[in-house]
Amino acid sequence: MDKKDPVALTDRITLIDGFDMDIAERTGTYVINEKHLTIIETGPSPSVAYIKDGLKKMGHKLSDVEYIIVTHIHLDHAGGAGLLLQDCPNAKLVVHPKGARHLADPSRLVAGAKMVYGDRFDNLFAPVLPVSEDRILVKGEGDRLEISPDCILEFWDSSGHANHHFAIVEPVSNGIFTGDTAGIHYEQLAKEGIDFHLPSTSPNQFDPDLMRESILRMKERGFSRAFYGHYGMSEKPDAAFGQTLDWLEIFMNEGEAALQAGETHIELAARLKEHINQHLRSIEIDDDHEVYMLIELDLMVGAMGLLDYLYKKKDK
């Protein structure tokens, strides 16, 4: 996949496309250009080459990087951390308290991802390297990190997608880096002036009640921008968060129906796809638009998480 130039989202925040799964505009890495150069999200290890190229194009050396922050430890967000840290000698890795030990020893992360992705694991994620504990900086609810005198990041616990997830409040842009808790921002449609967001409900720690709580907290704050792990920036976060909450209700209703019918995650994904296709056709999105392929990928994993949650709830 050809590398592309980083995209300046503000005068201080730049987006690098990591071509996760060899797909453009799938997973993003953000660079905050402050006194202490900061990266948010590494993506998986195959994305590290794109991050290095992007930093070079921005005029930064790898030794300039001081903080690498991951919103959570799923491999499509943090899998490349160990690999990138090898070449960033002055950087610390910032992670949620519940995620730190799994980046020091990623064996359980790897095993879990192999269960979901099977034979595709190596191409998508390898290598997943451990991070030395002395390079890990833990940040939890309400903690702060000064990356310049004018920019002090604040960390919010934001469970719902995963219990090792935080969001990062960036005061200068009045923005928030949402990771996956606030859903997926489909940049392929945003470029055409269409804001479309779906919840990210992947296994195995998805919890709809915690997700609603986290999103409502973001909504109530009144941010001007939301920076999504998948993918890009929304300058209408209030509407985006509301849309994700609306779709979350549909996802849960269809999940309950699939559970009652004894359906598989494949059948649940088809249920969800029909709702989404109807909506997109109603706003005149052509059936051959590239976004449908991305949505289908997201729904297959999301349906697994929905049924996983519902079966656990049923068995309690």
**Residue 174 structure tokens:** 């009045």
| CA–CA distance, 284 with 278 (Å, rounded to integer) | 10
Class for the domain spanning 7-244: alpha beta
Cβ-based neighbour number of residue 129 at 10 Å:
16
- List the chain pLDDT tens, one digit each, 316 residues: 567 899 999 999 999 999 999 999 999 999 999 999 999 999 999 999 999 999 999 999 999 999 999 999 999 999 999 999 999 999 999 999 999 999 999 999 999 888 878 899 999 999 999 999 999 999 999 999 999 999 999 999 999 999 999 999 999 999 999 999 999 999 999 999 999 999 999 998 999 999 999 999 999 999 999 999 999 999 999 999 999 999 999 999 999 999 999 999 999 999 999 999 999 999 999 999 999 999 999 999 999 999 999 999 887 6
- Give Cα 157 distance to the centre of its chain: 15
Q: What is the pLDDT of residue 2?
A: 64
CA distances 283 to 206, 266, 267, 280, Å, are 30, 26, 25, 5
Distance between CA atoms of residues 201 and 252, nearest Å: 10
Residue found under tokens 């195995």? 204
Amino acid letter at 150?
A: D
Label residue 153 exposed, middle or buried (CB < 10 Å: 0-12, 13-18, 19+): buried
- Using only C-alpha atoms, the chain has a radius of gyration, in whole angstroms, of 18
User: In the chain, where are the structural domains located?
Assistant: 7-244, 249-315
Residues 31 and 14: their CA atoms lie apart, in Å, by 5
Q: What pLDDT is stored for residue 113 in this prediction?
A: 85
